[in-house]
Structure 1
Amino acid sequence: MDRRSLLGGAVIGSAGLSAGIGAWARGIEGQHAPDLGNGTFLNPVLSGDRPDPAILKDGADYYLTFSSFDAYPGLTIWHSRDLVNWQPRRPALTRNIGSVWAVSLEKHGGRYFLYIPVKARPNDVFVTWADHIDGPWSDPVPLGLPRHIDPCHAVAEDGSRWLFLSGGDRVRLSDDGLRLAGPVEHVYDPWRYPDDWDVEGFSPEGPKIHRRGNWFYMLTAVGGTAGPPTGHMVIAARSRSLHGPWEQHPGNPLVRTRSADEAWWSRGHASLVEGPDGSWWALYHGYRKDFWTLGRQCLLDPVRWTADGWFAMTGGDLSRPLPQPRGGVALPHGLALSDDFAGPLQLGTKWTFFRPAPDEAERLHVADNTLHLAARGEAPSNGSPLLLNAGDTSYRFECTIAVEPGCTAGLVLFYDDRLYAGLGFDAERFVTHQYGIERARPANPHGARLRMRITNRRHIVAIHTSGDHGQTWQRFDRGMEVSGYHHNVRGGFLSLRPGLYAAGRGGARFSDFRYAALADGAAATTAG
């Protein structure tokens, strides 16, 4: 059988349908592509787990990064010239400093800065800088802010530099932006929603400061990041001075999912940005309806300014195509998740480790179109698997794997170290991964080398194995349903990611890794 049909085949060209959302384009490997090619786009502009977007306009270029949590290398910088089509560049963070939450990406005095809140022991906010967006970035330095998250860099009308923080607080920075220059102070009491709204909690966080004309505008997220689909929201306030006082927007909340029937849940954590044609836009995140497993995806919403100096977001529930910003240059969008291991491993842009040790990268060696991965731990739970960020509601991935004596290796769908699913094997037996534990160990008829495939079709998982390089397949006798592998079950704000692992002793060799998005519903057919 033609392998293209096994991999979904529908990898190029045609439009598909995603439940509750209009027709969207197919890009690389059939992945969601926002640009519909007719002057309109359909959200998300970046699918997959892209939470807490931090956007920087730098002349004609736009740079964007997201919370990377326990994935390293982290804080990959994405690049666009039209706000719709995005390409990954390089990761800004290579050393594991803890779980990375919502950052601030800024340029000041010709230098780029990242302010990075980290959940670790102890919690803190770090700063790193670079003279070029691609780095090298300086080693992150803690500022000494253990009680706050979600910093946002802002420059006052008098030139002083500040970090605005969760809870309506702020702190002054030194002139070079690398140290604190004063105590934390409370400057803003956020707008409160009615008591009968279904939310996760008040949780004022993610402040974003923007200056336009004679006004400073502050956007804040309230209602909680996850929990009920109707919880997260965007509110705003403004002031003539960065030092206040702050006036609440009369239209608060500006964005809120009002019903679980909407296409996007828990919409919030917004930033404003000017488009290439002078139009204005908001970038924020949201969960695709019924797909908490995919994490929070990056959404683009048109903004209209009003005569009284306020603004409104006009994209509605974002379920339908919207006119694109004009005047920008469309870069090729996204990246292929397949890997033939023909060159250096794309760490940070494609592959990431989960909670890596300082020497984790030493486990990797790429040669002869093969990834050699040294074993670590006893299972995916303590073996720091190598993961991808997939944004499709249905997809499959497959790989040829060979294990050395003492090694168990395989493919996984991984949320965190306590919640994952998949299949591993050694030369004699399989090991079933389900609910974050190791279960049945049936006999392996293929020996120390086989090809494995995992299909995740709208949370229904099927696993196949092949001993003849994918010419024939055997379905593994354990089906799974993974719709509960997400934050509202486990916490952590993560997503369910495809990946590979090697545990035990020795190592494993991985070759010809293939990923393809699938059309929801009936099995996809071969294209072209």
Structure 2
Amino acid sequence: MNLLKIGIAGLLLSLSLTPSFAQDAVSQTWVADLGNGMYKNPILYADYSDPDACRVGDDYYMTASSFNCIPGLPILHSKDLVNWTIIGYAIDRMPENALFGTGVNHGGNVWAPAIRYHNGEFYIYYGDPDLGIFMTKTKDPAGTWEPLVLVKEGKGLIDSCPLFDDDGNVYLAHGYAGSRAGIKSLLAVTRLTPDGKKAVGESRIIYDGHDIDPTIEGPKFYKRNGYYYIFAPAGGVATGWQVAMRSKSVFGPYERKIVMAQGKSPINGPHQGAWVDTSTGEDWFIHFQDVGAIGRITHLQPMVWKNDWPVIGIDEDGDGSGDPVLTYKKPNVGKTYPIATPAESDEFSAGTLGLQWQWHANPQSWWYFADSTKGLLSLYSVPVVDGYKSLWDAPNLLLQKAPAPEFTTTMKLTLVPDNRFFGEKTGLVVMGLDYGVLTFENTENGFVLSQAECIKAEKGTTEKVNASVTLKNPTVYLRVKISEGAVCTFSYSEDGKKFTTLGNTFQAKEGKWIGAKVGTFCNRPIGGNDGGRVDIDWFRLTK
């Protein structure tokens, strides 16, 4: 399977029932564009962690960490920095040397990428904390990206960003993961070959943040007015600040200044992101905020330059460090563009998966069939032959990001079991370090719907059933409503009209470096040469 070779139009949502769920429908859960020339933060209330972006002409392209989720390295596009859509992925599966196998490498693989445009090509560099720094490139960001190249091998090398200097030299800034390297709070720069594919010599430490900038990481490399700049977050994900450093020499020494902090705003830990400009001469900064269960959501801040230092947000007291904004005038990009949002709901009429979907690990090609003639997504049951404990390490979870602080997910499905055995199950899951789920299972007593949860799933605990009901028909509507504070209420319906609450409320929790995700699955308790499936009519996210 190669999702990147499929046309973009075929990968987006398609209409099968009502105009509310059309292929180009605007989100029903979160829209940042206020429609009056203003926008609100976050511009994406979804877990696009560690965002980076670049401008090419009048187009903006953004990518983000994807960790163990596949396809990886999402590519988003915008014309105005406020309205974004998903146009593809740079990785359709992790390479064979990645720590994946057939299982799930929770929190591993793709950390803090950087995207740049150079000599007609787009480059993405990212750090795999267990293997080193990788690169891929393309001439078409919505098309196929080249196979990954290991640029610099080494355990604990993360958060990489290139700089294509105007003299033809190429450099790479990166950080260190304390969990693998045994050291953190250091930033380094290394030289690359002219083609950007290989590090030359050893990295040189250019900044030590232990004393005043603990946990400094995520460097982004720029050059302006003869200065080399490194933008980097420090102080921790939920509580930190944004630092800028400058030097006349690529290897330093660097001066340092805090250029954005929480200040009086409610936006905690505002940092790690991308400086971008507009063709009209404005400067902006994209960054994330950690909000717990939903993950690390994406903000857009105004930015200005004063005395060759960036000031991000609004600097009311004039100290050179800005506070984040909640609402602001949209960037001046020369014209007005229509409201657009990443894909969420899926009617499965396009003959392939929508771009919002990611697997929990490298997928097998036979796991699904998107039937455009019937408007169905069929998930074939994947064997769980070592005894079922939980979904934590199930690689065939098909998930998407939570898109808002409050939303409702509803799906219609029909379980088509293999009647030679019992125990095949499907369902609707809110996945994280803890997870809650509605499971629909073929049993000796008929079709049984259960509400279950698994607390501390990452510790190997077993899923616990809170309530069950026996249903006569294989078709059922499953629903979860996520309310303020990420509290989940599960319900079901046999006719799609009247929904009955089942089981306990569940407190959603983030995953390993990622936000809670919603989605589905299909498993069976035995191996053998065949099994059943679930046919999913649609999967809808609403307010």
Q: Secondary structure, in 3 states, of the residue corresponding to 2:288? A: strand
Query: Hey, what does 2:188 align to over in structure 1?
Result: 169
2:310 and 2:50 mapped to 1: Cα distance? Answer: 21
Letter in 2 for 1:150: D
Distance 1:335 1:208, change over 3 A: closer
1:486 and 1:47 mapped to 2: Cα distance? Answer: 14
Query: Hey, what does 2:36 align to over in structure 1?
Result: 38
Letter in 2 for 1:59: G
Query: Hey, what does 1:20 align to over in structure 2?
Result: none
Q: Secondary structure, in 3 states, of the residue corresponding to 1:455? A: strand
Tell me if 1:340 matches 2:365: no
Tell me if 1:237 matches 2:245: yes
Query: In the alignment, which of 332, 337, 342 is matched to residue 330 of structure 1?
Result: 337
Query: Hey, what does 1:393 align to over in structure 2?
Result: 405
Residues 313 and 325 in structure 2, CA contact (< 8 A), matched pair in contact too: no
- Larger mean CA deviation between 327-336 and 48-57 belongs to 327-336
Letter in 1 for 2:142: D
**Unaligned residue ranges in structure 2 (runs of 5+):** 1-17, 99-107, 176-185, 315-321, 525-530
Q: Secondary structure, in 3 states, of the residue corresponding to 1:403? A: strand
Tell me if 1:178 matches 2:197: yes
Residues 451 and 465 in structure 1, CA contact (< 8 A), matched pair in contact too: yes
1:319 and 1:311 mapped to 2: Cα distance? Answer: 16
Distance 1:479 1:188, change over 3 A: closer
Query: Hey, what does 1:145 align to over in structure 2?
Result: 154
| Superposition deviation, residue 157 in structure 1 | 4.8
| Superposition deviation, residue 161 in structure 1 | 0.5
Cα deviation code 1:293-320 (max 9, x no counterpart): 11111111111221x2222113455453
| Alignment size in residue pairs | 460
Q: Secondary structure, in 3 states, of the residue corresponding to 1:293? A: helix
Tell me if 1:381 matches 2:385: no
1:222 and 1:277 mapped to 2: Cα distance? Answer: 31
Query: Hey, what does 2:277 align to over in structure 1?
Result: 274
Query: TM-score normalised to the size of structure 2?
Result: 0.80
Residues 397 and 455 in structure 1, CA contact (< 8 A), matched pair in contact too: yes
1:411 and 1:401 mapped to 2: Cα distance? Answer: 10
Residues 193 and 200 in structure 2, CA contact (< 8 A), matched pair in contact too: yes
Letter in 2 for 1:511: D
2:149 and 2:403 mapped to 1: Cα distance? Answer: 32
| Superposition deviation, residue 245 in structure 1 | 2.4
Query: In the alignment, which of 429, 436, 443 is matched to residue 412 of structure 1?
Result: 429
Residues 263 and 323 in structure 2, CA contact (< 8 A), matched pair in contact too: no
Residues 87 and 332 in structure 1, CA contact (< 8 A), matched pair in contact too: no
| Superposition deviation, residue 329 in structure 1 | 4.6
Tell me if 1:402 matches 2:409: no
Residues 266 and 286 in structure 1, CA contact (< 8 A), matched pair in contact too: yes
| Superposition deviation, residue 381 in structure 1 | 2.4
Letter in 2 for 1:380: L
| Superposition deviation, residue 339 in structure 1 | 1.3
Query: In the alignment, which of 435, 439, 446 is matched to residue 464 of structure 2?
Result: 439
Query: Hey, what does 1:23 align to over in structure 2?
Result: none
| Superposition deviation, residue 438 in structure 1 | 2.1
| Superposition deviation, residue 203 in structure 1 | 1.4
1:270 and 1:399 mapped to 2: Cα distance? Answer: 35
Query: Hey, what does 2:376 align to over in structure 1?
Result: 370
Q: Secondary structure, in 3 states, of the residue corresponding to 1:245? A: coil
Residues 84 and 342 in structure 2, CA contact (< 8 A), matched pair in contact too: no
Residues 27 and 341 in structure 2, CA contact (< 8 A), matched pair in contact too: no
2:220 and 2:89 mapped to 1: Cα distance? Answer: 22
| Superposition deviation, residue 35 in structure 1 | 1.3
Query: TM-score normalised to the size of structure 1?
Result: 0.82
Distance 1:461 1:475, change over 3 A: same
| Superposition deviation, residue 466 in structure 1 | 1.4
Q: Secondary structure, in 3 states, of the residue corresponding to 1:512? A: strand
Cα deviation code 1:253-289 (max 9, x no counterpart): x222257xx43222111321112320111111113xx
Query: Hey, what does 2:222 align to over in structure 1?
Result: 210
Letter in 2 for 1:281: W
Residues 27 and 342 in structure 2, CA contact (< 8 A), matched pair in contact too: no
Query: Hey, what does 1:298 align to over in structure 2?
Result: 298
2:336 and 2:39 mapped to 1: Cα distance? Answer: 14
Letter in 1 for 2:310: F
Distance 1:69 1:461, change over 3 A: same
| Superposition deviation, residue 103 in structure 1 | 0.7
Tell me if 1:101 matches 2:127: no
1:154 and 1:460 mapped to 2: Cα distance? Answer: 43
Query: In the alignment, which of 193, 196, 205 is matched to residue 212 of structure 2?
Result: 193
Distance 1:169 1:399, change over 3 A: same
Q: Secondary structure, in 3 states, of the residue corresponding to 1:322? A: strand
**Unaligned residue ranges in structure 1 (runs of 5+):** 1-8, 13-26, 195-201, 518-528
Residues 394 and 456 in structure 1, CA contact (< 8 A), matched pair in contact too: yes
| Superposition deviation, residue 500 in structure 1 | 0.8
2:503 and 2:77 mapped to 1: Cα distance? Answer: 43
Q: Secondary structure, in 3 states, of the residue corresponding to 2:437? A: strand
Query: Hey, what does 1:135 align to over in structure 2?
Result: 143
Query: Hey, what does 1:313 align to over in structure 2?
Result: 312
2:154 and 2:121 mapped to 1: Cα distance? Answer: 23
Residues 113 and 127 in structure 1, CA contact (< 8 A), matched pair in contact too: yes
Residues 80 and 330 in structure 1, CA contact (< 8 A), matched pair in contact too: no
2:336 and 2:28 mapped to 1: Cα distance? Answer: 23
Query: In the alignment, which of 426, 432, 435 is matched to residue 441 of structure 2?
Result: 426
Distance 1:402 1:442, change over 3 A: same
Cα deviation code 1:55-109 (max 9, x no counterpart): 1111211110110112111112111121111121111111124521101111222
Letter in 1 for 2:64: F
Task: Within 5 Å, give how 1:15-54 maps onto structure 2.
Answer: 28-54=26-52
Residues 295 and 496 in structure 1, CA contact (< 8 A), matched pair in contact too: yes
1:444 and 1:257 mapped to 2: Cα distance? Answer: 51
Query: Hey, what does 1:471 align to over in structure 2?
Result: 497
| Superposition deviation, residue 495 in structure 1 | 0.6
Distance 1:266 1:85, change over 3 A: same
Query: Hey, what does 2:479 align to over in structure 1?
Result: 453
Query: Hey, what does 2:318 align to over in structure 1?
Result: none
1:215 and 1:328 mapped to 2: Cα distance? Answer: 32
Query: Hey, what does 2:288 align to over in structure 1?
Result: 285
| Superposition deviation, residue 472 in structure 1 | 2.2
Q: Secondary structure, in 3 states, of the residue corresponding to 2:159? A: coil
2:440 and 2:358 mapped to 1: Cα distance? Answer: 22
- Larger mean CA deviation between 429-438 and 108-117 belongs to 429-438
1:422 and 1:76 mapped to 2: Cα distance? Answer: 26
1:187 and 1:317 mapped to 2: Cα distance? Answer: 27
Query: In the alignment, which of 486, 490, 493 is matched to residue 510 of structure 2?
Result: 486
Letter in 2 for 1:486: E
1:317 and 1:216 mapped to 2: Cα distance? Answer: 24
Cα deviation code 1:397-447 (max 9, x no counterpart): 1112222334200001012xx521111011332333312442226232244
2:408 and 2:131 mapped to 1: Cα distance? Answer: 37
Question: Identity of aligned pairs, percent?
Answer: 24
Q: How well do the aligned residues superpose, as a CA RMSD in angstroms?
A: 2.3
Distance 1:319 1:57, change over 3 A: closer
- Larger mean CA deviation between 379-388 and 49-58 belongs to 379-388
Query: Hey, what does 2:72 align to over in structure 1?
Result: 74
